[in-house]
Amino acid sequence: MTMIELIEKKKHGQSLTDEEINFIIKGYTEGLIPDYQVSAWLMAIYFQNMDEEEVFSLTKAMLYSGETVDLTKIKGVKCDKHSTGGVGDKTSLVVAPLASALGVKMAKMSGRGLGHTGGTLDKLEAIPNFKIEKDIEDFYEQVNKIGLAIIGQSKNIAPADKLLYALRDVTGTVDAIALIASSIMSKKLASGADNIVLDVKVGSGAFMKDVDEARKLASLMVKIGNYYHKKTVATLTDMSQPLGCAVGNALEVKEAIETLKGHGPDDFTKLCIELTVEILQVCEITSSYEEAYKLVKSAIDQGLGLEKLRAMIKYQNGNPLVIDDYSLLNIAQNTIDVIYEGQEKLYIKSVDALLIGEAAMKLGAGRVTKDDAIDLGVGIVLNKKVGDIVAPGESLAKIYTNGQNTNLAKEMVYSAYTLTKDVVTKMPIIIETIK
């Protein structure tokens, strides 16, 4: 077979075989097939799509293009939780400790943030001396001892996906559902967990803007997981406004800790509880939703999740005193309030998550390229969210800054708010669950 034959075949909407897809991925990874031919193939996929068998084959080819993690050395049931990314999304810092406290082994490999969405590793590095790089044997030992570890993903996991994603990024083919699903699931399957819980974000601050498209993506990822004998569930969650109130690495760590203490924002707390419930159910720790919900609530009320987070921080060389002393997080000390300048009380109709995320980036909280340095202490805390009433002179949000683009960020945050005289019904954080 030749690459030009396979491009032609996909261009005309025909399905590629497992052997043909493996030929492409192997050839590209080994440098035998040039970028321009793979770019043409990706564009053909963008317009002609892939059927499920093709997606399963592409996932497998990328999965086995590099190392896979063998978690059999870890005793007990293992689960991985993945989010498609959003503004203020610090759920792993709460969900993983809660699930671990309730008997699930959470052996998690995470990534860094790029663009307006933050990465779990960046947030963890806001904790003084926290070590995200670990030898695999140390990783196994930690999860066996305390049931929880969050480390950096191995560079050798699904290398074909890294190459393909970089090419998709510069050829306008990122938003093809078949390519997104196989990209995410190749890495999740390579990470070795028994079960997978997916948090698929939908809205202005998420990659998926449309509920129908997000549903298609979630359904396809669940099918991939189940096809490869991993019990998989996906929850569609709202990202039309930032999740919780804090946006920015150290600020989000603080909010996650507060949530484990039982004092988190309502929407964020609800999401963390629901995702942990899904983990308990998919891992068959509980037999019913009601039982799982009671266990998770109890784990928060008794501080069990908080103590798991403390243990993980200590085990990974971080300073566990951050749990009780937030000054150790080095949150920016310069603050400025974004004041509502209207003349009457109004309701918050919407808060543009994308604009808030971009404002945080301007402050230095995010990176444009993977090599950019970020300021872990800056960010934004929302004082008003959708459905709240704001009076003249009240603060919509507070900006934490070290002097970079402060006025621009303030203008962007103000512009993110849309107000109305009408009462606004808050959108539920959980849109749908797909099993």
Q: Hey, which residues are catalytic here?
A: 82, 161, 168, 183, 187
Closest to 345 in 3D by CA, of 400, 394, 291: 394
In this structure, how many other beta carbons lie within 10 angstroms of the beta carbon of residue 219? 16
Supply 125's token pair: 């590095």
Fill in the DSSP letter of residue 416. H
Taking alpha carbons only, the member of 199, 236, 190, 147 closest to residue 61 is: 190
Q: Of 145, 85, 136, which is closest to residue 113 (Cα–Cα)?
A: 85
Q: CA 100 to CA 285: how far, in whole Å?
A: 11
Question: Can you say how many angstroms the Cα of residue 330 is from the centroid of all Cα atoms in its chain?
Answer: 24
Sheet holding 395-401, edge to edge: 246-247, 379-382, 395-401, 334-339
Record the tokens describing residue 64, joined without a space: 């086995």
Alpha-carbon gap, residue 425 to 98, rounded angstroms: 30
How far is Cα 244 from Cα 251, in angstroms, rounded to an integer?
Answer: 11
Other CB atoms within 10 A of residue 163 CB: 18
